[in-house]
Structure 1
Amino acid sequence: MSATIRKRSRIACTSCQLRKRKCSGEQPCSNCAQSGSGCYYDFQSRKKKDVKANGKPGLAINPPPKRTNLQDDQGVDRISSVEANSGAAFVRKLGLTIDPTHAPRLHMFAWNVGPRGSPGSTCLGADATVVDIISQAEMVALSTVYFDRVDPCYSFIDRETLLHHVDKRWLSTSNAPDAYDAVLCGVAAFGFLFSRRSAPAAEHQLLEAARLILEQHLSDETPSVAVVTGWVLRAAYLRMTATPHIAWMASCSLMHLVEAAVLMQQSLGPNTNTDPEIRRRLFGMARHLNTWISFDLGRSRVVLQGSTTLPPTPRTGDYTTELFHLLPASESLDPTNTTTADGSGLEASLADVLDVVHAVAPLILAQCNLVLCIYRRLRVATPTISPGLLDRILTLAGKSLAAAREMAAVSNPWHQIANVPFQIVCTCLAIDSRASLALLGEAMRALHAVRDAYDTPVTREAYSTAYLLVRLHRHRREEDTRVLASVLENDPPTGLGVGIPASDPETHGLSDALWGEEWLDLQNFDLDEFLNFSM
């Protein structure tokens, strides 16, 4: 009887490390493939541990192989692709290019406008329900704010159904919360977020009440649509206010709940009696949040296999379907996708996204965020980018900066309001052309407007970091100018150029004229006429 020899992986993914499981070392590993969770390998932390254990680099006990499972048959490094999606990695590499000594740390700058502050003191207990926290009139007013400002771009709740639940909830004689209470709390919290610069105590109480309800239903084998809706609201709210890791974990949990509720299937599962349009929109929102949060952080997204759901139906005054139209291009940036790994595929995808014209500010910023991500991938894939595409990127960037300032003025703290202007600053510095540098002033003014509207540590850090990058770039340019000036001062020319003696009788008079004071007047100098001049 022959024994099967199990291949031992040299490194485990982060999920297997946390759960203390044996990892197969694949992408995804067998455990993550079975659970459907994101599979991510932290090679940088492993390298640091190996260096610490051996005293010096290069002597790791189990050094990683030269070619890992994270490389496909074409040799595309998938880890590099994941990092190329990340805005944080882009900012770090940009800073190292400009000035390695003073480069910003690897950090997700301008992830959102920042946290909403501490909950403050409250006399309500931990078991407080939505009817204990706000009145019915406040609930109606806050839901009006939600449907006016959030629902046009994030439409996945039926307004009449929600108002029916409001009437029913405040008429009920029982104070025991049900699953739909999480939806009411989430909508009310969004109402506070989009109507007040700072959070009242009631906003934090609503969020805590919703969290307790949703966590109680995590053990449900078949989550209800109300539970999934509450999780969509929670993940979207955290994207706008919380730290990146918390938002990413919430979005991954949301995707697993969608799978358990079978919302990615057109006509299967226990929730088939729900409006099919609502099912499609909930699945689209979950995909949108998880995909973009994962890509912004440079982490793996949760992919649900066997999806058969149809796209939502467009509605008048509803822009959610336009947002979902960006999903195919977004998901094509997955590191496992080899069709867009080369420059031609990315340029085609970039051109397709730029061809779309959006009218509302949140979607303009979402489009620009996707364009900037494709640009980051394109910089890694190819050394040259079409000048025409660069011009179109800068045009959309200018439109997005105006949208960000507009949203800051009317208290619409969508998550891209700070992130997109900050990334535009970094992109302009990376392009480093006259046109891109000319846009820097507008980008800094937009970021300044966001900082003034939402004066939080996050917005102040984002503006200070952008200011530092611009200042370092200027310092490098000044150093280059001094080097060029020293070259010109140390060896001034005596003739037209190298190899043309000043005593040449045919060029002596011309050289005296050209290299005189008139040569320094470059504003009126015609280079073509000079190069085509017949001796």
Structure 2
Amino acid sequence: MPKRTQTNRPQPNAQRRRRVYAACSECRRRRRKCDGSQPCAQCQAYGYACLYDAENFSSPAQSSSDAAATAAAAAAHPRQPLPLQTRQRGDRGGGGGQDATPTAPQQPPPPSALLISRERGRFISAHSAVALPLLVGQELAITQPPLRLHSYAWNLGIRPERRGTPSPSSLADYFSLAECQTLCAVYFSAVHPLFAFLHPETFTRRLARGWSGDGGGGGGGGGGAAGGAAGGATVGGAAVTTTLDTGQPNFAAVVALVAVLGSVFSPTPHPREQDIKRHALAILDRGLSTPVAPVDMDTVAGWILRALYMRLTTRPAISAMATHAAMHMAEMIGLHREMHDPGSSSATAAAASTSTSTSKVSSTSSFSDEELETRRRCFCVARFLNLLLTTEYGLSAVSPRHATCLAPARVPGAHIDALYTMSSVLHDAEAAAAAAAAYTRASSLDSDEFADLFLRLRDMPRDDDLVALFAGDVCLCLLRRFSAASLSSGKPSPRIVGASVAVLRRALDAVAALLAAGRTWWNMLSVPFQSVCVCVLVDGVALLELLPAAMELLRGMADRFESHMAREALATAQQVIAASRGRTDAKLAIKDAALSHALPVVDIDWASFDTGFDLGHVWPPVMDFFG
């Protein structure tokens, strides 16, 4: 047989298949093949922090200028990114070692290239099919006409697109501007102290301008939550004579839902509350199926407000889906990504990790400091609600990839920092449970790390009644994991019990204070009821001492509100306690029966017995009892 001749044909994947002698730390830990780039393909795909040992390897793809830019960004933004659940999908198969325990990356993953079009509500990665024509056009210098960020060839186009038509009614049909402002003031006094994602001054200014037909300010980048839109916006180049519903429909939904929540917390609800609510929900629903308006900050704010209202009034699945929608809308406009103004010193780090094509559209990504901070607040609130409501219902939370959003700064008169802490606790609890399930361990509930979550809640400032109430709700989310645990004991440790009692006792006091103030939060009923269930399940003296206060609150709310939910909660709690007492009585009866035929008591002279027992002088000296 003739010998085969070797041809030097080019190998298209030779660069990709080259041997790498120094893998990154994540690929070594997870035992994956590393390509040696910075970041490598594995870390970029799964959102890990791609790091190399400095003494062994120096990636040629990471220049000294990139390192300096990253250091400058870290110095300019010392706050940590928001905690996001990192699901290690690559570890589902075999190959897990003793050091393969999934841990959250110490640094945020390097951001991928991002294309920003604030006017169209698009914050998309460069690998998107929508971005490819733009990148090709820029590479080939096509200018007549220029290729834009557009969904070319997205479908066949054989059916007409459903267009979003404005509602025949407007907000002015339901209430006056003065009534709207009164309800909004109630909202900012009742809801804003914890869920501080709206700017009260900017919101009030936009409301007054939009109601008078002055456009309501721009909503594309700042929206109702951001505060940067001064100056009236035009619609189609026409004069700003439109109303809120036609000119800024997303902001109209925000205004309507703020007013509706203000009506919920008012002593006397507005007579058109249901009509205003339906008007707002119709706008948000049209945005899911028609291009009624670009996705912007107003869209995210509207879905956050919708989730709050649904959690206050309807079934758990509906409110959980609203938080999912809020998170997906937030991801669409890049709220999970930290955006730096191109003129700031920290913009270099963002530009270092993006392609050259991204810098050509960077003029549309200029954010003011107020807008940057509002983006962080919106994402923090949306993330907390998604974590809390999905944990309550037993669903998975939304976890956007490549999230680098920083923690929001403190807000005067609000407690956004406490919200961030509770969000971190919920995230860490979910991550611990996922790690235990992935590695088939019985549970991680008996670990010191899980106990530290309760201590973080206990040590968090809880002087505000609303913060204390939601801290109790988060504490119950953690305690409920013991009811589902398959441990032989299934009981929390004394550290957990002590911290839980402190958090829940303060939460029950907060319920009484909020009830006296006329606030009607959903967990004012659920926290006492869930406390009864947990206390009876654990059956410890420290937790059982909370039962009288919890039952007193349930009886008070059943008498005050006279609703089916309040009466049902009281009756169920009474049934649970009665069943627990019946089991305790049965145990006591068995013990009483064991003591009913006790042996007769014999009067023994123990003093004389002790003196007679002292026989040390008669034992043989050769016996060694301690040898």
TM-score (norm 1): 0.66
Which residue of structure 2 lines up, in the alignment, with residue 229 of structure 1?
301
Partner of 1:148: 189
Cα distance in 2 for partners of 1:150, 1:271 equals: 31
Identity across matched positions, percent: 26
Are 1:265 and 1:309, in contact at CA under 8 Å, matched by a contact in 2? yes
Equivalent residue, structure 2, for 1:492: 598
For 2:434, the equivalent position in structure 1 comes to: 336
- How far residue 391 of structure 1 moved from its aligned partner, in angstroms, is 2.7
**C-alpha separation in 1, matches of 2:94 and 2:533:** 29
Superposed CA deviations along residues 139-179 of structure 1, whole A, max 9, x for unmatched, are: 11111111111111111111122112222222125454322
Aligned partner of 2:285 in structure 1 is 215
Following superposition, the deviation at residue 314 of structure 1 comes to: 0.3
2:310 maps to amino acid: L
**Where do 1:434-473 residues align within 5 Å?**
434-473=541-580
Q: Classify 1:508/1:192 alpha carbon distance in 2 versus 1 (closer, same or farther; 3 Å).
A: same
Partner of 2:108: none
TM-fit CA distance, 1:327:
1.2
Q: Hey, what does 1:299 align to over in structure 2?
A: 395
**Could you tell me whether the CA contact under 8 Å between 2:265 and 2:520 is conserved in 1?**
yes
Specify whether residues 385 and 342 from structure 1 end up closer, same or farther in structure 2 by C-alpha distance, changes over 3 A only. Answer: closer
More displaced stretch, 263-272 vs 360-369: 263-272
Aligned in 2, Cα 1:169/1:72: closer, same or farther, shift over 3 Å? Answer: farther
Question: Of the candidates 313, 324, 342, which is equivalent to residue 241 of structure 1?
Answer: 313
* Alignment CA distance shift 1:508-1:492 (3 Å): farther
Higher helix share: 1
What residue is the counterpart of 2:73 in the other structure?
A: none
Q: Are residues 388 and 248 of structure 1, via their aligned partners in 2, closer, same or farther at CA, if it must alter by over 3 Å?
A: closer
Counterpart residue identity of residue 303, structure 2 = W
**Deviates further, 369-378 or 182-191:** 369-378
- AA in 1 matched with 2:210: R
Q: For 1:117-156, what aligned pairs fall within 5 Å after superposition? A: 127-156=168-197
Q: How is 1:311-350 mapped onto 2 (pairs within 5 angstroms)?
A: 311-334=407-430, 335-338=433-436, 341-344=444-447, 345-350=449-454
Once the two structures are superposed, the pairs formed by residues 385-464 of structure 1 within 5 Å of their partners are: 385-464=492-571
Of the three residues 465, 480, 484, the one matched with 1:376 is 480
Measured after TM superposition, the shift of residue 353 of structure 1 is: 2.2
Q: Rg bigger for which structure? A: 2
Offset at residue 449 of structure 1 (A): 2.3
Letter aligned with residue 492 of structure 1: A
TM-score for the superposition, normalised by structure 2: 0.57
Q: What is residue 324 of structure 2 aligned with on the other side?
A: 252
Q: Secondary structure at the match of 1:385?
A: coil
Query: Structure 1 residues 371, 476: CA separation in 2 closer, same or farther (over 3 Å shift)?
Result: same
CA distance in structure 1 between the partners assigned to 2:480 and 2:93 by the alignment: 20
Q: Which runs of 5+ in 1 are unaligned?
A: 1-33, 35-68, 75-124, 496-501, 511-535
Distance in structure 2 (CA, Å) of the matches to 1:456 and 1:309: 42
Is the contact between residue 426 and residue 466 of structure 1 (CA under 8 Å) also seen in structure 2?
Answer: yes
5+ residue gaps, structure 2, are 1-44, 46-91, 98-165, 214-240, 341-361, 610-627
Question: Which residue is equivalent to 1:357?
Answer: 461
Distance 1:166 1:357 in 2: 34
Residue 517 (structure 1) aligns with: none
SS of the aligned residue for 1:326 comes to helix
The whole-number CA distance in structure 1 between the counterparts of 2:172 and 2:477 is 43
One-letter amino acid of the counterpart of residue 492, structure 2: I
CA contact (8 A) 2:475 2:504 kept: no
Change (3 A) 1:143 1:353: same
How big is each residue's C-alpha offset from its partner over 1:121-143, in whole Å with a ceiling of 9 and x where there is no partner?
xxxx9732211111010011111
Does 2:286 correspond to 1:205? no
2:426 counterpart letter in structure 1: S
Work out the CA distance in 1 between the residues paired with 2:95 and 2:466: 36
Superposition deviation, residue 482 in structure 1: 1.9
Q: Which amino acid aligns with 1:238?
A: M
**1:309 corresponds to:** 405
Q: Quick one: structure 1 residues 391 and 449, their matched pair in 2 at CA, closer, same or farther if it must change by over 3 Å?
A: same
Count of residue pairs the alignment pairs up: 387
Counterpart CA distance in 1 for 2:556 and 2:93 is: 42
CA distance in 1 between counterparts of 2:473 and 2:383 reads: 16
2:458 and 2:502 in contact (8 A); partners too: no
Give 1:185's aligned residue: 256
Amino acid at match of 2:329: L
CA–CA separation in structure 2 for the residues paired with 1:285 and 1:70: 35
Matched-pair contact (CA < 8 Å) for 2:386–2:398: yes
Distance 1:448 1:128, change over 3 A: farther
Using the TM superposition, give the Cα deviation of residue 374 of structure 1 relative to its aligned residue in structure 2, in angstroms. 2.1
Q: Secondary structure at the match of 1:333?
A: helix
Aligned to 1:50: none
Residues 493 and 507 from structure 1, CA distance in 2 versus in 1: closer, same or farther, beyond 3 angstroms? farther
C-alpha separation between the residues in 1 aligned to 2:524 and 2:544?
Answer: 21
Using a 3 Å threshold, how does the CA distance of structure 1 residues 327 and 72 change in structure 2: closer, same or farther? farther
Q: Please tell me whether the aligned partners of residues 263 and 271 of structure 1 are also in contact (alpha carbons under 8 angstroms).
A: no
